[in-house]
Amino acid sequence: AGTRLQLVLQFGVGLEGVDQDACSRQGVVLARIPSEQTGNAASTAEMAVYLLLAALRRHGQLAASLASQTLGAPMGRQLKGMRVLIVGWGNIAREVAARLAPFGVRLSAVRRSRWDTYPSADDVTISSDSFGLDDGAGANTLLDSRCQPGATRPIRSGGGEDSASALLLGRGIASTDMVAMLGAADAVVLACNQTSENRGMVDDDFLAAMVPGAVLINV
């Protein structure tokens, strides 16, 4: 079957739905269109924000309450002021950060590879305060492990840092910082491709590391 097939072109970044081994065996070219070119990243980020708001406001229970003509319950929780951890830092993750920032959340992100700009994981002590401190002048800061306790160092954009990265108050590397950062987040948004490296990432240990009552969103 498909002996004349020469190309499989994925509209979007995810290839988990394509049998890549079969394509290789048959000599079929497999390609994808980057999400920033399709608008898929922005669309997916909007869905992530919707799902997060729906979970916090207990949308399903609220709909049932309205259907029964009961008002005022459940109350749900507001997003403002929450510590949100984004897992992954590709196009979708950056679009999620840009859309969540206006809600007044404290953003942090963890990814598999090292961060190229300050602060790296070696520079940061991960704690609940890593999602943002205030230096008295209103600047978002990170706790620097090289400073005296309580001292802070402001994040400055520049040096090749994109605008989405400048929104982050904490950054980590998955292999070393995931557990600590999960334990300091009120909400977690998974925005990474499904690969052999991260398949099964959300296991019992992952869930146990999360704050009780924290919301988990997967896009």
Kindly report, residue by residue over 153-194, the tens digit of the pLDDT. 333 333 334 788 999 999 999 989 999 999 999 999 999 887
The pair of structure tokens assigned to 66 is: 């309205």
User: 170 to each of 83, 108, 160, 181, how far by Cα in Å?
Assistant: 10, 4, 18, 9
Statement: residue 120 has pLDDT above 50: no
Per-residue pLDDT of 3-53, as tens digits, reads: 788 888 877 667 777 888 888 888 888 887 766 666 788 889 999 999 999
Three-state secondary structure of 66-111: HHCCCCCCCCCCCCCCCEEEEECCCHHHHHHHHHHHHHCCEEEEEE
Q: Would you state the pLDDT for residue 181? A: 96
Is residue 64 very low, low, confident or very high in pLDDT (cuts 50, 70, 90)?
confident
* pLDDT at 156 (0 to 100): 34
* Centroid of chain to Cα 158: 22
* Residue 1: band (very low, low, confident or very high) from pLDDT cuts 50, 70, 90: low
- Give residue 137's pLDDT: 33
What pLDDT score does 102 carry? 96
Q: Tell me the pLDDT of the chain averaged across its residues.
A: 78
Residue 217 predicted with pLDDT over 60: yes
Burial track 140-175 (b if 16+ CB lie within 10 A, e otherwise): bbbbbeeeeeeebbebeeeeebeebbebbbbbbbbe
CB 155 within 8 A of CB 141: yes
Residue 144 has pLDDT above 80, yes or no: no
